[in-house]
């Protein structure tokens, strides 16, 4: 089973993403992009992640549980822990926290 509206989103995302990937291969004479544009683009993923985390991380679940989960994940990743361990730890902490809060 597929969800038509989700497929529309995916196809549109693919089109834009593929264009960004392929244009430099199709028109190799376009010389390297201006440094100012590069500096802007370099910050885009970090900016996106910042806006994805706040405020939504703290509005859905009990804030104390959410804050713990996000902080632990951030600190572990900063110290070089693998993503598998982080996600599993997050699920365990979130599940225990939510279960405790339900009492």
Q: How many CA atoms lie within 13 A of 73 on its CB side?
A: 19
The binding track of 58-77 with respect to other proteins, each residue x by CB under 8 A or -, is --xx---xx--xxxxxxxxx
Residue 78 is a binding residue for other proteins (CB under 8 A): yes
| Phi and psi, residue 71, nearest 5° | -65, -45
Within positions 1 to 60, which residues make up the interface with other proteins, using CB under 8 A? 1-3, 5-14, 16-18, 20-26, 28, 30, 32-33, 36, 38-57, 60
Cα(73)–Cα(89) distance, integer angstroms: 8
Cβ of residue 40: shortest distance to other proteins, in angstroms? 4
């Amino acid at each position: 089973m597929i969800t038509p509206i989700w497929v529309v989103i995916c196809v549109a995302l693919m089109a834009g993403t593929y264009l960004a990937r392929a244009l430099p291969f199709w028109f190799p004479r376009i010389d390297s992009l201006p440094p100012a544009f590069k500096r802007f683009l370099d910050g885009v993923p970090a900016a996106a992640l910042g806006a994805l985390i706040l405020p939504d991380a703290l509005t859905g679940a009990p804030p104390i549980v959410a804050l713990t989960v996000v902080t632990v994940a951030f600190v572990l990743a900063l110290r070089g822990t693998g993503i598998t361990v982080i996600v599993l730890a997050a699920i365990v902490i979130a599940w225990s926290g939510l279960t405790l809060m339900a009492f």
